Amino acid sequence: MIRFENLTKGYRVGGERKVVIDNLSLTLPTGKSLGLLGHNGAGKSTLIQIIAGNLSPDHGRVISDGTISWPVAFGGSFHPQMTGAQNVRFVARIYGVDTESLVEFVEDFSELGKHFHMPVRTYSSGMKSRLTFGTSMGIQFDTYLVDEVTAVGDARFRRKSRVVFRERMANSSAILVTHNMREMRDFCDAGIMLHEGKLEYFEDLEEAITTYEKLME
């Protein structure tokens, strides 16, 4: 369960305040993988960052009764001066998982080669995404926050990412941001749409997608 209580977030744009999340109060159900829909600039990534705890709202709070991942593929999750391996070891200690098992999994999955032992500041955005995706998939969370993660890498790496993500979804749920409706249908049970600061829950994923597509016309 994830519950938003009077959640509000805005930014200063061109000297004016733009509210992207407007006094949001809503409870998301347990055990559902949700597709998060909304036009570019609607605030989807902002909402994901707030759920993860990486970004503070202006008002309100987020309450959860389960473990939530950091935003998968968000390169800012790791310390730039530390190597990939050092970052993974640090994460393992924070979450109380076996350090060497996680390091072994991430090194194999990410396919970073020698770069795994180099500072993250030297990584490309794609390399950072591989590191963060591999690390998050190496830890069992109740809810994974995913922002276009399977778009990272070449076709073979994307296929591998989809396989391991599907394995995690057998025992966990997710909030997934993607512009690929086929991918959303593959992984999600229901939908949520963010529009003009308001979040609407759809039990029927197809209804959510249809509503979103009409909005975008």
User: What is the pLDDT, as a whole number, of residue 151?
Assistant: 56
User: What is the pLDDT, as a whole number, of residue 159?
Assistant: 85
44 pLDDT above the threshold of 70: yes
Distances (CA, A) of 203 to 14, 29, 145, 189, 210: 37, 10, 19, 8, 13
Q: Which residues are registered as beta bridge partners of 26?
A: 4
Task: Identify whether 109 is part of a domain.
Answer: yes
Task: Identify whether 134 is part of a domain.
Answer: yes
pLDDT, tens digit, 9 for 90 and up, residues 96-113:
999 999 999 999 999 999
Task: Identify whether 5 is part of a domain.
Answer: no
- Residue 54 carries which side chain, given as an amino acid letter? N
Task: Identify whether 48 is part of a domain.
Answer: no
What are the backbone angles phi and psi of residue 30, rounded to the nearest 5°?
Answer: -80, 140
**pLDDT higher for 119 or 216?**
119
User: What is the pLDDT, as a whole number, of residue 178?
Assistant: 87
Task: Identify whether 199 is part of a domain.
Answer: no
User: What is the pLDDT, as a whole number, of residue 150?
Assistant: 56
User: What is the pLDDT, as a whole number, of residue 137?
Assistant: 92
Over pLDDT 70: what percentage of the chain?
95
Mean pLDDT of 190-208: 96
User: What is the pLDDT, as a whole number, of residue 74?
Assistant: 57
User: What predicted TM-score, i.e. pTM, was given to this entire model?
Assistant: 0.88
Task: Identify whether 111 is part of a domain.
Answer: yes
Strands (E), 46-119: 59-64, 68-72
Q: Mean pLDDT, the chain, as a whole number? A: 91
pLDDT, tens digit, 9 for 90 and up, residues 59-80:
999 999 999 998 876 556 689 9
Q: What is the DSSP-derived secondary structure letter of residue 118?
A: S
Report how many domains make up the chain.
Answer: 1
User: What is the pLDDT, as a whole number, of residue 88?
Assistant: 97
For residues 127 and 109, is the Cβ–Cβ distance under 8 A?
no
Domain interval for residue 119: 78-140
pLDDT, tens digit, 9 for 90 and up, residues 125-179:
888 888 988 999 999 999 999 876 555 667 788 888 889 989 999 999 999 998 8
Task: Identify whether 174 is part of a domain.
Answer: no
Mean pLDDT of 46-58: 94
Task: Identify whether 176 is part of a domain.
Answer: no
Calculate the dihedral angle through the C-alpha atoms of 132, 54, 5, 39, rounding to the nearest 10 degrees.
-70
